[in-house]
Amino acid sequence: MSTTPNSDLLVQEPQIEQPLYTPIKRRSFFMYAGATAGATALVLAGCSKSDSSPGTVNVGSGDAGVLNYAYALEQLEAAFYTQLRTGSYYTGSTITAAEKSILDDLYYHEVIHRDFFRAAISAAGATPIKALTPNFSAIDFSSRTSVLGAAKAFEDLGVAAYNGAGQYITSPTYLYIAGKIVSVEARHAAIIRDLNADNTFVGNDIITLTSGSNSSVATNNSPANSSLERSMSPSEVVAIANNYLADGSKLDASSLR
Amino acid sequence: MNFFQIISEIEKVDPEVYDRLDSRRSVFKHMSGLGQKLSAAALPLAVGAIFNKVYAQTPVGAGVNDVLNFALKLEYLESYFYNSRGTVTGLSTQNTAALALIATDEANHVTFLRSVLGANAIAAPATTGVFDYTAKGTFPTALTSGATYLAIAQAFEDTGVRAYKGAAPLVMANKTVLTAALNIHSVEARHASHIRAMRRAGATSTTPAQGVAVSPYTSAPKSWISGNDGGGPVPGTTDAIYGAGNNTNAPTGITFDSEANTTQGGVALSGTTITAGAAFPSSAFSEAFDEGLDVGTVAKIANLFSVSGNYFG
């Protein structure tokens, strides 16, 4: 299984080790630099190494980059629900049976997603990013409002992130797997939003109802009154996710584009 | 991102890059027009998009209209169903309001898909005589009983989620269409989750989010699909919605497994492969992933509600 467009090129033309730096006949170059693979490699070539800030975790580029990006977000969610289950709202007496069972399932699902990505990235011959250190100091784990509010933020963010990153995946297999996960995240998001306030499973804050999308997702085409999810670009997602990550674990997804 | 560095890199391998770009696609003319409208921050995205266009070899659009028209047919099935909710009784005020929200979304999806397809869109089906929500008498109270109505709604939403998921790889060459399809897909999943919550708490419940699931998840389902959900809301009739699809024409690397699948991308999910997973209920490993369906299987399910029996092909 190839992990990046560049590795595809190497498989097909093993004698060419540095396709971007080796002058070759243009016809043969464009023959194998097919479709978006060539374009992506060229765009990446335009990035100098200094694009990554020191102390951040760069998820990388290509399909492996998208997988690591997803792995990072699943790590965040899994860590949140793990900590939630030790907090006094969850362990206390006011939580309802329905809420407890829902939060249990979300914990199971997100841990499974996290561990799935770590295994899948390794299986693809790529390197998983490190285990991230979260910073949940802004969340009061004794407060229903705080806990469910944070859960809503994480679930909605996950849906918007997967939808916005789908276009960067080149392998149908990984796109399909991302689709299998994002609909579960959307199911989570809907019930968590309903626990926050009934009948908020959809709303103009997350889908294009009364206003169109203002996201910087390159391929977004969501006018008002279209009821499309407001997907988000990796940079928009990371700006939010980094609020919940400790220094040294903050994400850099600038190579995903 | 350094634009000139990109051109420089291209020039190294393709000395005729300027000729190619200029003579064949007039890309720089295109780019200068764009540049006036774009901020510096947006430029990298625009450049990437332009090069994708110039160098793309995959024909864009082949079959995409067929996929979108099939999606449009499903949206009509849903939209007309929710528009028919006026005769349904036995729903709480909260649940009636939720159905109005969903009806708006489905009508919006119809409008949106029509706008994307333009002149290639199918004719709108007649509001009567095309769809039969009783499925030829299988659900005689489809449009009168709240409980039956919600059961059918769940069937439609779960089918819709599986259909969009299965179709995503078919439209991935066109990033705009792909993103739009994904952005509809997750909204259908939100609907499915809420309808399942309504069924879990009961059609007359005033606290639909507070219902507690009971196994085997037919009358009080979870918000997500657990195993095969015991055959779905109407076991014996809705089983196919949660079963395996047909892999005959599946894209390479994709199989349409049943919702009970627990192996994803070659990774077996179990209590031994997942951290602390030994303490998880076994149902969690299938719940964590939804599954897609092929067009043929979706059509077969949807045709249960077609008067002619073959509206969906």
Residue B80 in any domain: the answer is: yes
DSSP code per residue over chain A: ---SHHHHHHHH-TT-S-TTTS---HHHHHHHS-HHHHHHHHHHHT--GGGSPTT-EE--SHHHHHHHHHHHHHHHHHHHHHHHTTSHHHHSSSS-HHHHHHHHHHHHHHHHHHHHHHHHHHHTT--PPPPPPB--TT--TT-HHHHHHHHHHHHHHHHHHHHHHGGG---HHHHHHHHHHHHHHHHHHHHHHHHHSTT-SS-TTTB-SSS------TT----TTS--B----HHHHHHHHGGGB-TT--EE-TT--
Pair B16, B85 in one domain: no
Pair B21, B153 in one domain: no
Pair B86, B125 in one domain: yes
Residue A188 in this model has a pLDDT that exceeds 60? yes
| Distance from the A147 Cα atom to the nearest Cα atom in chain B, whole angstroms | 16
Pair B41, B162 in one domain: no
Give me the interface pTM, i.e. the ipTM. Answer: 0.82
Provide the pLDDT for residue A125. Answer: 96
Percentage of chain A surpassing pLDDT 90? 75
Helix or strand holding residue B227 (H, E): none
Residue B265 in any domain: the answer is: no
pLDDT tens-place string over residues A94-120: 999 999 999 999 999 999 999 999 999
Residues of chain A with CATH 1.20.1260.10: 57-252
Provide the pLDDT for residue B61. Answer: 44
Provide the pLDDT for residue A219. Answer: 81
Number of domains into which chain B is organized: 2
> What number is the average pLDDT over the span A174-196?
98
Residue of A nearest to B270 (CA): A112
Which residues of A, range 89-128, sit inside 8 Å of B by Cβ?
96-99, 101-102, 105, 108-109, 111-116, 119-120, 123
pLDDT tens-place string over residues A109-148: 999 999 999 999 999 999 999 999 999 999 999 999 999 9
- Radius of gyration of chain A, Cα coordinates, nearest whole angstrom: 20
Confidence of residue A27 (pLDDT cuts 50, 70, 90): very low
Residue B205 in any domain: the answer is: yes
Helices A144-165 and A62-84, packing angle to 10 deg: 170
Provide the pLDDT for residue A52. Answer: 56
Chain-chain contact of A218 with B175 (C-beta, under 8 angstroms): yes
Please state, in angstroms and rounded to a whole number, the distance separating the CA atoms of residues A46 and B3. 6
| Distance from the B105 Cα atom to the nearest Cα atom in chain A, whole angstroms | 5
Pair B10, B109 in one domain: no
Residue B280 in any domain: the answer is: no
B2 contact residues in A (CB cutoff 8 A): 46-48
| Distance from the B137 Cα atom to the nearest Cα atom in chain A, whole angstroms | 31
Domain containing residue B212: 64-245+291-305
Pair B25, B154 in one domain: no
Put simply, whether A217 touches B (Cβ < 8 Å) is: yes
Nearest 10 degrees: CA dihedral of B27, B33, B36, B37? Answer: -90
Pair B36, B141 in one domain: no
Superfamily of domain A57-252 in the CATH hierarchy: Ferritin, core subunit, four-helix bundle (1.20.1260.10)
Please state, in angstroms and rounded to a whole number, the distance separating the CA atoms of residues B241 and B170. 20
Across the A:B interface, residue pairs with CB atoms under 8 Å apart total 313
Q: Compute how many other C-beta atoms are within 10 angstroms of the C-beta atom of residue B21.
A: 21
Put simply, whether B39 touches A (Cβ < 8 Å) is: no
Provide the pLDDT for residue B249. Answer: 87
Chain-chain contact of A223 with B1 (C-beta, under 8 angstroms): no
Residue B296 in any domain: the answer is: yes
| Type of residue numbered B7 | I
Pair B148, B229 in one domain: yes
> What number is the average pLDDT over the span A61-76?
98
Please state, in angstroms and rounded to a whole number, the distance separating the CA atoms of residues A180 and A168. 16
Please choose, from the candidates B208, B188, B225, B219, the residue with its C-alpha nearest in 3D space to the C-alpha of residue B98.
Answer: B208
Please state, in angstroms and rounded to a whole number, the distance separating the CA atoms of residues B152 and B149. 5
The region of weakest confidence among A18-22, A72-76, B273-277 is A18-22
Residue B161 in any domain: the answer is: yes
Put simply, whether A219 touches B (Cβ < 8 Å) is: yes
The alpha carbon of A4 is separated from its chain's Cα centroid by a whole number of angstroms, namely 17
Mean pLDDT score of chain A: 85
Pair B186, B104 in one domain: yes
Residue A33 in this model has a pLDDT that exceeds 80? no
Helix, strand, coil % in chain B, rounded to nearest 5: 55, 5, 40
- Radius of gyration of chain B, Cα coordinates, nearest whole angstrom: 23
> What number is the average pLDDT over the span A13-33?
38
Residue A233 in this model has a pLDDT that exceeds 80? yes
Provide the pLDDT for residue B219. Answer: 87
Provide the pLDDT for residue A55. Answer: 87
Pair B99, B230 in one domain: yes
Which residues of B, range 180-219, sit inside 8 Å of A by Cβ?
180, 182-194, 196-197, 207-213
Provide the pLDDT for residue B218. Answer: 84
Provide the pLDDT for residue A218. Answer: 76
Residue B154 in any domain: the answer is: yes
Give the pLDDT means over successive 10-residue stretches in chain B (313 positions). 42 41 37 38 38 35 84 98 98 98 98 96 97 97 98 98 97 95 98 98 97 87 96 95 95 95 97 96 97 97 98 96
Put simply, whether A240 touches B (Cβ < 8 Å) is: no
Pair B73, B12 in one domain: no
Confidence of residue A53 (pLDDT cuts 50, 70, 90): low
Residue of A nearest to B4 (CA): A46
